[in-house]
Amino acid sequence: MDLVIQPGMTYYRIANTFKIPLSQLINANPYTNPNMLRIGQVINIPYYQTQPYSIQNGDTLWKISQENQIPMEQILAANPVDPYQLRIGDSITLPVRIREDILEFNQPYTSDQLEEDLFTLVNLFPFITLREIGRSVMNKPIYEVSIGEGDKHVHINGSFHANESITSSVIMRFLHDYLLSLSSNEPIRGVDMNTFYNQITLSLVPMVNPDGVDLLNEGLPNEEEFRDLVLSINNQSTNFNNWKANIRGVDLNNQFPANWQIESNRKRQQPSPRDYPGPSPLSEPEAIALANLVEEKDFDRVLALHTQGKVIYWGYEGFEPSEAQSIVNEYGRVSGYVPIRYVDSHAGFKDWFIQDYRRPGYTVELGRGTNPLPFRQFEEIYEKTLGIFLVNLNI
């Protein structure tokens, strides 16, 4: 909600009026100086939407406040009007705090729908940061969302694999519920999300592989070059349920420089719907984007969401730090998923992170069944994963 600065307004006063943590109000307006507000300047108030109201016979601001359950000071702040000079037919703005669901989670994401939903959230909650960290082979944006102010930096990503796009929905649902919890000041499973916000800086990349996800969920691309390429790779079949790769037939989770040559020698030797590590480590723009992000942000831990199996892989070649086990045990306790330390696999995102940074990294295999998992499993998967998200506050 946009607010026009009136005489006497300060950030502290506005934060108190609208019951918003001062830091979040300041973060929502990165291009303003909180110590130099000017009359007539417009700032953004997170958590609020505006609702027009037409003055009727007998209306007073007190009556409007009571009937709409909106504090009088908020109505006055949103409307630079004389409360004793209301005229029938005049329009004022009612600031309404967001408490209801904003997004719908009833079908798998495409990259376009993800972008639309991300823009919706950042417009309503402008203290979150949305940016492109790279572009896919087909030049589709790969987005990172950042939220929080804590010293603990946690990264979570999804949809490395095309036929695992339910993971994008899980990440977006958590972001959505987190923001609604902040707005309503209601905890999630007993966790105060304002405390979460203050102690954890969370980085989310909901869709690492937008080209692959769109291939699975929308079918053949319109561009002749890519349409011909994927048909060739997929033996002319238009059934892409087995497609894990990016649009060039490279498995993005076999792209990282952690014994990449071992995987290259024993995996497919040409572009394929799955399991081709590519011509070299980090040959694909999607993998490069994630590697650059990790190098830039220096995360304390990373979680890559995949499907399926209800297991959590957490070790790599003995490089994992000692605290990684206690963390994964807690993840397992709240989710019911089984921790597995070692598996004969290399060149994955978490393998590389553990190897190069010697910090905790996890591959979380959500749900159980055959990929792509049916979307009817979404609610159950989300509830299991929600516990993993929340316990990051205390471990």
For residues 196 and 291, state if they share a domain. Answer: yes
**Together in a domain, 71 and 149:** no
Model pLDDT, residue 82: 72
Same domain, 144 and 57: no
Out of 39, 68, 97, a domain closes at 97
Rounded to whole angstroms, what are the CA distances from 32 to 15, 20, 253, 279, 370? 15, 17, 41, 48, 50
Q: Are residues 293 and 181 in the same domain?
A: yes
Q: Does some domain include residue 243?
A: no
Give the number of domains in the chain.
Answer: 2
Is 226 domain-assigned? no
Catalytic residue among 144, 286, 320, 365: 365
Are both 187 and 331 inside the same structural domain?
Answer: yes
Domain identity same for 148 and 290:
yes
288 occurs within a structural domain? yes
Q: Write the CATH number for 43.
A: 3.10.350.10
What CATH number did the domain enclosing 305 receive? Answer: 3.40.630.10
Picking from 69, 181, 45, 158, the residue whose alpha carbon sits closest to that of residue 108 is 158
Same-domain pairing of 6 and 140: no
Domain extent at residue 72: 2-97
- Per residue in 108-123, pLDDT tens? 999 999 999 999 999 9
Specify whether 206 is located in the same domain as 115: yes
Residues 69 and 178 placed together within one structural domain of the fold:
no
Give the model's confidence band at 45: pLDDT under 50 very low, under 70 low, under 90 confident, else very high. Answer: very high
Cβ–Cβ contacts within 10 Å for residue 195, how many? 12
pLDDT band per the 50, 70, 90 thresholds, residue 288? very high
Please identify, among 38, 64, 97, the residue that sits at the C-terminal boundary of a domain: 97
Average pLDDT over residues 252-280: 97
pLDDT at 83 over 70: no
372 and 307 in a single domain? The answer is: yes
- For residues 9 and 136, state if they share a domain: no
Counting residues of the chain whose pLDDT is more than 90, the rounded percentage is: 95
| CA 113 – CA 110 distance, rounded (Å) | 5
Q: Please state the pTM of the whole predicted model.
A: 0.95
Indicate the residue among 75, 97, 119 that finishes a domain: 97
């702040």: which residue's tokens?
A: 77
Residue 259 maps to a domain? no
* Pair (290, 371) in one structural domain: yes
Residue 67 annotated among the catalytic residues of the structure: no
Residue 168 lies in a domain: yes
pLDDT tens column, 307-361: 999 999 999 999 999 999 999 999 999 999 999 999 999 999 999 999 999 999 9
Question: What angle in degrees, to the nearest 10, is found between the helix axes of 210-218 and 111-124?
Answer: 120
Rounded to whole angstroms, the Cα distance separating 39 from 60 reads 26
